[in-house]
Amino acid sequence: MLKRNPSLTDQAKSTIKSRIVNDEYVNGRIPSEAILADELQVSRTTIRDALSRLENEGAIYRKQGAGTFVNQPGLQIKTRLEEIWSYEDVIAAHGYTPSTQILAVRREMARKETAVSLQIDPTDDIIRIEKLFLADDQPVILAHNHFAAELLPDSYDDDNFHAPIYEIFEENGRQQLTYYLSEIVPAIASPQLAQILHIQSNTPLLSFNEIGYNANNNPILKSISYFRDDLLRLRLIRRKSN
Amino acid sequence: MLKRNPSLTDQAKSTIKSRIVNDEYVNGRIPSEAILADELQVSRTTIRDALSRLENEGAIYRKQGAGTFVNQPGLQIKTRLEEIWSYEDVIAAHGYTPSTQILAVRREMARKETAVSLQIDPTDDIIRIEKLFLADDQPVILAHNHFAAELLPDSYDDDNFHAPIYEIFEENGRQQLTYYLSEIVPAIASPQLAQILHIQSNTPLLSFNEIGYNANNNPILKSISYFRDDLLRLRLIRRKSN
DNA sequence: TAGTGGTCTAGACCACAAA
DNA sequence: TTGTGGTCTAGACCACTAG
């Protein structure tokens, strides 16, 4: 029934996921692994991989001896912080149409702290981009991105930077952003920030300090950003780690 | 070499983890899966499970065709939000000694909103606990916990509540807390909060709104808490979801 | 007791990286 | 080309839940 590539696991996962979303399982009970394996003509291992990933995403839960079930509360959360990728995705997941404004692009010497974070020579140039994200034309996130100048071609203009950062890296720098290590910090809107985000001064904000890593686990991006909390709500699932 | 229970995967994982921590792998290169399987006398599948979990924790990374490597930046992060369990653990992971103060314990009728969150009847009683967490005797987290009164025995006194909430549930309510669904909200210290946490009014704070679920996926705990950001830094890893 | 998910095995083949 | 991790299989046995 299924073909290779995308992997059988991926296909099994999305098949099951769509059945869940379409409410095809009465009482939220998902067929046993053996039945699913038989039905989709794959091994039980493949089904188990698919179910494990759905469980991680919060879409289902399993009880040994009892069965596998749809997890309604988990299904409703569409913006899980651990899985969110670009800010465009965050905005879209909340049901808004994302757009961007480039407020500034600078080529400059790295500050010492930035050079350390990015493991580059302090005399090397970096690119600093100040980018505003809008949800249905309301400003919601202000991001400052820093990365080594050598990751970009010599000539560029501001319009290049409307695309998500990870796309820019993939196209120009032959680098793939694979994960972020993020620090969550509470902040208060300064008068300047308040003006940019169209909010009142001293409004509480969330700030993210993040380092983005490539496939070789080298830091390639430093990002500091500020979120308007009234439009975007950040959620995550916290589990026992074992 | 390894015995059953804890599972072979768990044992393989902790064996490999401790070797990583002890810096036994030169140049951060971890032996191939085949070699590890042979050495620990388990199947390659078991080794792969163990490595997958270490990869999820950020301790290692894998490159198809190249090998498996220690992830130094990931190793240094000891307080990953997605994996953190009780607030005691958060505090301990930051290197402090955790302790608690019970500020208030009340038995009262559920507010409508709380009843909805916990899926209980609005006329049912809930227990509300106000608990202060201290790191080396400095107040750092204020938590308000709400749960159905029936989860507790009829008689109790305040001292019962010094233990982590999940322990209380396991012992008295025969309920196991399996995961939290958490919402992160920026806040500002009110005069009252400032006094409790020994900080200045209007200091930015992180607030968590959380619902805790049991093994049957029913909500059993509602928690609202406030973090001092100067002593505790919350981190997480954000990945592409596929 | 029957049926479910949890763990584990041995082995096959594929995709990719590095020499 | 060699060796690595990635995917997948078929089958065994265990631990647990529920009727």
User: Å between B6 CA and D4 C1'?
Assistant: 29
Say whether the CB atom of A64 is under 7 angstroms from strand C. Answer: yes
Tell me: the pLDDT tens digits for A188-221? Answer: 999 999 999 999 999 999 999 999 988 888 899 9
pLDDT band, residue A241 (cuts 50/70/90): low
| CA B85/CA A225 separation, integer angstroms | 27
CA distances from B207 to A127, A134, A229, B229 (A): 34, 25, 12, 10
What pLDDT is stored for residue B123 in this prediction? 86
* pLDDT tens-place string over residues A85-130: 788 888 998 899 999 999 999 999 989 999 999 988 888 899 999 9
Q: Are strands A234-239 and B177-188 parallel, antiparallel or unpaired?
A: antiparallel
Of A63, A180, A202, the CB nearest to B238: A180
Q: Which of A180-194, B64-78, B148-162 has the highest mean pLDDT?
A: A180-194
In this structure, is the dihedral angle defined by the CA atoms of residues A53, A54, A60 and A62, taken in order, positive or negative? negative
Q: Do the chains contact at A236 and B71, CB–CB below 8 Å?
A: no
Listing DSSP states for B83-126 in one string gives G--SHHHHHHHTTPPEEEEEEEEEEEEPPHHHHHHHT--TTSEE
pLDDT tens for residues B41-61? 999 999 999 999 999 888 999
Looking at CA atoms only, how far is residue B213 from chain A in angstroms? Answer: 10
A112: amino acid identity, one letter? K
Whether the per-residue pLDDT at A147 is higher than 70: the answer is: yes
- Confidence (pLDDT) at A3: 59
Whether B153 shows a pLDDT value over 90: the answer reads no
- Asked whether residue A46's C-beta has any atom of DNA/RNA strand D within 7 A, the reply is yes
Tell whether the model's pLDDT for residue B129 goes beyond 60. Answer: yes
Q: Which residues pair with A235 in a beta bridge?
A: A80, B183
What pLDDT is stored for residue A1 in this prediction? 52
HSE-CB for A223 with a 13 A CA cutoff? 27
* Dihedral of alpha carbons B25, B30, B32, B36, sign: positive
pLDDT of res. B2: 57
Three-class DSSP labels, B160-201: HHCCCHHHHHHHHHCCCEEEEEEEEEEEECCHHHHHHHCCCC
B129: its two tokens:
């606990």
H or E segment to which residue A141 belongs: strand A138-148
B167-197 pLDDT, tens digit per residue, is: 888 776 667 888 888 999 999 999 999 999 9
Q: What is the pLDDT of residue B3?
A: 58
Nearest to A33 by CA among A65, A73, A74, A71: A65
Structural domains of chain B in order of their starting residue, each with its CATH number: 8-76 (1.10.10.10), 87-227 (3.40.1410.10)
| Mean pLDDT of all residues belonging to chain A | 89
pLDDT band for B151, please (50, 70, 90 cuts): confident
Strands A125-135 and B67-70: unpaired
Question: What is the three-class DSSP state of A68?
Answer: strand
User: Which residues of chain B make contact with A188, given a CB cutoff of 8 A?
Assistant: 188, 202, 204
Q: Which long-range contacts (CB under 8 A, 24 or more apart) does B56-60 make?
A: B57/A241, B57/B83, B58/A181, B58/B237, B59/B17, B59/B20, B60/B20, B60/B30
- What is d(CA A73, CA A18) in angstroms, rounded to the nearest whole number? 17
Q: How confident is the model at residue B136 (pLDDT cuts 50, 70, 90)?
A: very high
- Which nucleotide lies nearest residue B4, CA to C1'? C7
B204-235 pLDDT, tens digit each: 999 999 999 888 888 999 999 999 988 888 88
Residue A242: the pLDDT is 60
Per mean pLDDT, which range of A156-160, B13-17, B106-110, B225-229 is the poorest?
A156-160
CA of A238 to C1' of D9 (A): 34
pLDDT digits (tens, 9 = 90+) for A34-65: 999 999 999 999 999 999 999 988 899 999 99
Q: Please determine, for residue A31, whether its predicted confidence score (pLDDT) is greater than 70.
A: yes
Is the pLDDT at B101 greater than 90, yes or no?
A: yes
**Residue carrying the six token digits 């669904």:** B181
Question: Which distant-in-sequence residues (6+ apart) come within 8 Å of B220 by Cβ?
Answer: B118, B147, B148, B151, B169, B173, B175, B177, B212, B213, B214
pLDDT reported for residue A215: 82
Distance of alpha carbon B55 from alpha carbon B40, whole angstroms: 19
Concatenating the DSSP letter of every residue in B37-54 gives HHHHTS-HHHHHHHHHHH
User: What's the confidence (pLDDT) of residue A179?
Assistant: 87
Two tokens, residue B39: 């050495």
* pLDDT reported for residue A173: 61
Q: How far apart are CA B52 and CA B42, in angstroms?
A: 16
